Structure 1
């Protein structure tokens, strides 16, 4: 849509859809010490891959920029602001935003995550809508939450929705941090924010084995599945569709389980196959990919044996049960002191299980480790701590 004058709750909404407009926005934004930030993205919902669709930034002083990367060649001026440690970036539930920025080569600094801040003061539900309702009695319209952000032109409703995700974050941050300081938990939030800044985007290892029922296949069938997965991925990129829209996950595993199936019959009797795959050229490419994978499996002597089940139940002995009971006692006291939901930042079942098995507390958060050890000491319980690994030369 054209850059019509829009406002939301007194905040000017400015659509930025050119490199020149971005440079002007950056010149304005870099004069502020705190910016509210959010991304709209598509993660294999409408298109292939993990793709940036919009960037929203509010200055906390009456202006919100909606930056459209589809019309901008160079986002580096904006990324320089996001990477500037002197400017705080207020984000609500930042994990995926940080991962996408990292994927794009932007390494964010000085994060303040208001979702984590709400958890620190024991919010049961910490969504943006919930926090606004609880703290400011403000209702927001989330009807565009499932919007397809790849489509252009953007509608007025989409622009307003995108703006709402950032225009309240400055006052939310101020209100939550005031409560956190009263509780003496500011160092919790600082450490949690620092950990978020360390998040790195990585492609999953052996993603084909993450498909449902893939673990039931033998080594040969898993090898076939890996080849089919790669073929599907290439075609999904070509079609710019999420890979399961090309061949559903269950159908891919089924074909790997029956690699000698008649491909033409399989394509025409399997639900959910993308029409483009049924074209003669792509049908031929699928046949070739399957045959080449089978030949490679034979050349590499891939066996028909079944892998051992990778999931092993935790060992149960009198000692592991004793450790579990002791750390559970510590957890209960932490819950009583800090609240059920805040305590989940400190100690959870995974930490308890790990301790029961290893006999050492292995926690990546200093404040959480300190609280666990202090609480254990108050209960007269000795909790050995896993020593950090020595740095490699």
Structure 2
């Protein structure tokens, strides 16, 4: 692994006095797509400097500390740190449910793409990185076993790739939002995300309380 793409793996929590600056890219890996059923296994973070910091979350039954992650939770709940995600609706719900917290100050590149990339219905991270940044991201490990005791080098590289390019992607998308006069609209969506995720966790994905249906 080159210095430009260093991966740091931590067992259970971030180090004390850990600082990634005011804008931190964040992603998660879980055992599945249901936050109530499928446990959180990995949290990835990056300051946009070519380095990824991965926190492996292991249950007590596997010799871990479970969701006792005070340093990670402090970062996630710090409203002075903007959390940059792709499809934040899922990641915020997973993190809020696992850690019993509310996550403020969130930006979602998928919402940004849906607001300004209206000439296509493709808004996945791999497509956007290829189209906007010229970067190829492999999704080969997406459905692998993230709950394993030891993660493979391929899993770690895949997990890191989900945060290493978010800063550059946001720079491109924010410029488009400003150009199309939709930056304020995007911010209103971001500000609502913690509440939207609380509704999802309460079961209000369906029925959608914003729907006109009786």
TM over 0.5: yes
- 1:23 equivalenced with 2:22 (yes/no): no
Which structure shows the higher strand fraction?
Answer: 2
Please name the residue that 2:52 is paired with.
64
Q: How far did residue 42 of structure 1 move?
A: 1.4
Matches within 5 A, 1:107-122: 107-121=102-116, 122=118
SS of the aligned residue for 1:98 comes to: helix
Q: How far did residue 23 of structure 1 move?
A: 2.2
The answer on whether the counterparts of 2:41 and 2:56 sit within 8 Å (CA) in structure 1 is yes
Q: How far did residue 168 of structure 1 move?
A: 0.2
- Partners of 2:203 and 2:109 in 1: how far apart? 28
TM-score (norm 2): 0.84
Q: How far did residue 152 of structure 1 move?
A: 2.1
Bigger Rg over Cα: 1
Matches within 5 A, 1:249-288: none
Q: 1:179 aligns with which of 155, 176, 181?
A: 176
Please name the residue that 1:40 is paired with.
29
- 1:152 equivalenced with 2:152 (yes/no): no
- Partners of 1:110 and 1:183 in 2: how far apart? 22
Q: How far did residue 204 of structure 1 move?
A: 4.3
The answer on whether the counterparts of 1:50 and 1:100 sit within 8 Å (CA) in structure 2 is no
SS of the aligned residue for 2:27 comes to: strand
The answer on whether the counterparts of 2:26 and 2:84 sit within 8 Å (CA) in structure 1 is yes
- Stretches (4+) displaced over 4 A: none
- Partners of 1:135 and 1:44 in 2: how far apart? 27
Call closer, same or farther: CA 1:177–1:141 in 2, change over 3 Å: same
Highest RCO, 1 vs 2 (Cα 8 Å, sep ≥ 6): 2
RMSD: 2.5
- 1:97 equivalenced with 2:58 (yes/no): no
- Partners of 1:64 and 1:44 in 2: how far apart? 23
Unaligned runs of at least 5 residues, structure 2:
59-63
TM-score (norm 1): 0.47
- Partners of 2:158 and 2:91 in 1: how far apart? 17
The answer on whether the counterparts of 2:12 and 2:69 sit within 8 Å (CA) in structure 1 is no
- Partners of 1:133 and 1:63 in 2: how far apart? 20
Please name the residue that 2:61 is paired with.
none
* Cα deviations by residue, 1:261-283 (Å, 9 ceiling, x for unpaired): xxxxxxxxxxxxxxxxxxxxxxx
